[in-house]
């Protein structure tokens, strides 16, 4: 194992008093002050995240769209320019290698954003799948930083950030005021172009900004300076995890892995068996046959949301059981993939894979929390949905 890498913002985190933790081969801020305070700030005002550890692979060339239709399960050629799409890369057997966001940020040019721990694998798999396509892949993660502003006050903060301006020349045809959720645009910071996506992983409105490494500290400070009077706080991985869990978003290594297909994870909608190429023939994308078969067969397990009726939270890898007599755990029916006390809702929440017979909403189950059965009930996800205005 090599040493954990540091992002261009490492010194900022240390100066802010962050507890740093190894994550996906990187040394990242776990929390700055309090997980709960950071979580609540994102729900009520905004949080600032360093996501520079995420993999970023640039795909260019005349066949870029057709290549991504072949290599990923999504219908990427349908993503309009300056649009973004949540997708997955699967193996031939339909298992999930990673979940990704694809940005179509220039004509014939795409960015594939991968999880840090999978970035190398994704690049390798994509490279393997380029045979026959006129495309060039480039790992553009080194030399870049990714900063996210997430929360109901994110728009105000972006508008108040010194040096961050719109420029119709590079915007891609969108004004910041009109930037839609899951779309992106070009902006300038201190004169340098940067890509801004209205995307995130918290269940709130927000933006993700790719900035050259040498401007990362300046942008981080400018965003903090503009945002602090509005309630913005730097937020760590711990808050990011509880935020995404409340929002019912899967985390690779927990809800998704190489033993899982998108269908079991309740993400079948990302698999586009209806993809056709320019000549109207179905696209034989990697994993298609296995996924087509899987779609038709009954799953052995399904991902559900669980709400705790007591106060003790369930954690990843705890067994889901039938309710037995009293505190005695009943027969096992599944396993928790993520679990925590929900800061916003005030009760424990969890995601778990369970057998289909016990997956219906309202089913009363229990989780074996270190030898004691704690009552949980199956509920729809997301656990938390932001108020719409």
Partner 1 sequence: MADFPENLKYTTEHEWLDGSTPAVIGVTDVAAEALGDVVYLELPEVGATIEAGSVVGEIESTKSVSELYSPVSGTVTEVNTEAVDNPEVVNQDPYGKGWLFKVEVSGTGELLTAAEYAQHTGS
Binding residues (CB under 8 A) for partner 1: these are 30-31, 34-37, 39, 238, 241-242, 311-313, 315, 340-341, 343, 370
User: Is the backbone of residue 276 left (phi > 0), alpha (psi -120 to 50) or beta?
Assistant: beta
Q: Whole-number minimum distance, CB 26 to partner 1, in Å?
A: 18
Quote the crossing angle between the two packed helices 35-44 and 237-246, to the nearest 10°: 50
- Our CB check for partner 1 shows the closer of 34 and 190 to be 34
> Contacts for 222-225 with beta carbons within 8 Å, 24 or more apart?
222/161, 222/162, 222/163, 222/164, 222/189, 223/48, 223/147, 223/149, 223/157, 223/161, 223/164, 224/48, 225/161, 225/162
- Our CB check for partner 1 shows the closer of 35 and 264 to be 35
- Our CB check for partner 1 shows the closer of 19 and 277 to be 19
Question: Contact, 141 vs 55, CB < 8 A?
Answer: yes
Q: How many CB atoms lie within 10 A of CB 268?
A: 16
Residue 172, CB half-sphere, CA atoms under 13 Å: how many?
26
Q: Whole-number minimum distance, CB 30 to partner 1, in Å?
A: 8
Phi, psi of 85 (to 5 degrees): -145, 135
Q: Whole-number minimum distance, CB 128 to partner 1, in Å?
A: 37
Q: Whole-number minimum distance, CB 219 to partner 1, in Å?
A: 28
- Our CB check for partner 1 shows the closer of 70 and 240 to be 240
- Our CB check for partner 1 shows the closer of 59 and 239 to be 239
- Our CB check for partner 1 shows the closer of 74 and 348 to be 348
Phi, psi of 336 (to 5 degrees): -75, 135
Question: Contact, 242 vs 343, CB < 8 A?
Answer: yes
- Our CB check for partner 1 shows the closer of 205 and 246 to be 246
Phi, psi of 338 (to 5 degrees): -150, 145
How would you classify the pairing of strands 232-234 and 46-50? parallel
- Our CB check for partner 1 shows the closer of 72 and 373 to be 373
- Alpha helices by DSSP H, listed for 57-212, are 64-71, 119-128, 154-160
Largest CA distance in the chain: 68
Label residue 131 exposed, middle or buried (CB < 10 Å: 0-12, 13-18, 19+): exposed
Tokens of 132: 């026959």
CA separation for the pair 207, 112 (Å, rounded): 17
Handedness of CA 334, 338, 342, 348 (dihedral sign): positive
- Our CB check for partner 1 shows the closer of 90 and 320 to be 320
- Our CB check for partner 1 shows the closer of 21 and 190 to be 21
């Amino acid at each position: 194992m090599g040493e954990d890498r540091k992002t261009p913002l490492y010194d900022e985190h240390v100066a802010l008093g962050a507890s740093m933790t190894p994550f996906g081969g990187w040394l990242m801020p776990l929390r700055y002050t309090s997980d709960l305070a950071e979580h609540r700030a994102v729900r009520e005002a905004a949080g600032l995240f360093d996501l520079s550890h995420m993999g970023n692979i640039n795909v260019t060339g005349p066949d870029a769209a057709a290549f991504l239709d072949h290599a990923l399960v999504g219908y990427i050629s349908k993503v309009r320019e300056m649009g973004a799409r949540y997708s997955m890369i699967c193996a031939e057997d339909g298992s999930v290698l990673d979940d990704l966001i694809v940005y179509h940020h220039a004509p014939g040019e795409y960015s594939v954003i991968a999880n840090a721990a999978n970035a190398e694998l994704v690049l390798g798999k994509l490279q393997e799948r380029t045979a026959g396509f006129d495309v060039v892949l480039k790992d553009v993660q080194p030399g870049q930083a990714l900063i996210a502003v997430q929360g109901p006050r994110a728009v105000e903060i972006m508008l108040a950030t010194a040096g961050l301006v719109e420029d119709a020349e590079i915007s891609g045809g969108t004004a910041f005021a009109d930037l839609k959720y899951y779309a992106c645009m070009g902006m300038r910071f201190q004169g340098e172009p940067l890509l801004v996506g209205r995307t995130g992983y918290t269940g709130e409105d927000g933006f993700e900004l790719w900035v050259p490494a040498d401007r990362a500290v300046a942008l981080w400070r400018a965003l903090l300076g503009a945002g602090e009077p509005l309630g913005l706080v730097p937020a760590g991985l711990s808050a990011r995890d509880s935020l995404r869990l409340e929002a019912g978003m899967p985390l690779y290594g927990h809800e998704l892995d190489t033993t899982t297909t998108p269908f079991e994870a309740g993400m079948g909608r990302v698999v586009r068996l209806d993809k056709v190429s320019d000549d109207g023939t179905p696209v034989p994308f990697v994993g298609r046959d296995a996924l087509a078969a899987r779609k038709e067969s009954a799953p052995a397990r399904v991902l559900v949301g669980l709400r705790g009726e007591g106060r003790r939270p369930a954690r990843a890898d705890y067994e889901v059981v039938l309710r037995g007599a009293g505190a005695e755990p009943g027969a096992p029916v599944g396993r928790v993939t993520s679990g925590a006390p929900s800061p916003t809702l005030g009760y424990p929440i969890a995601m778990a894979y369970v057998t289909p017979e016990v997956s219906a909403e309202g089913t009363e189950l229990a989780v074996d929390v270190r030898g004691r059965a704690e009552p949980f009930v199956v509920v729809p996800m997301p656990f938390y949905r932001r108020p719409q205005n």
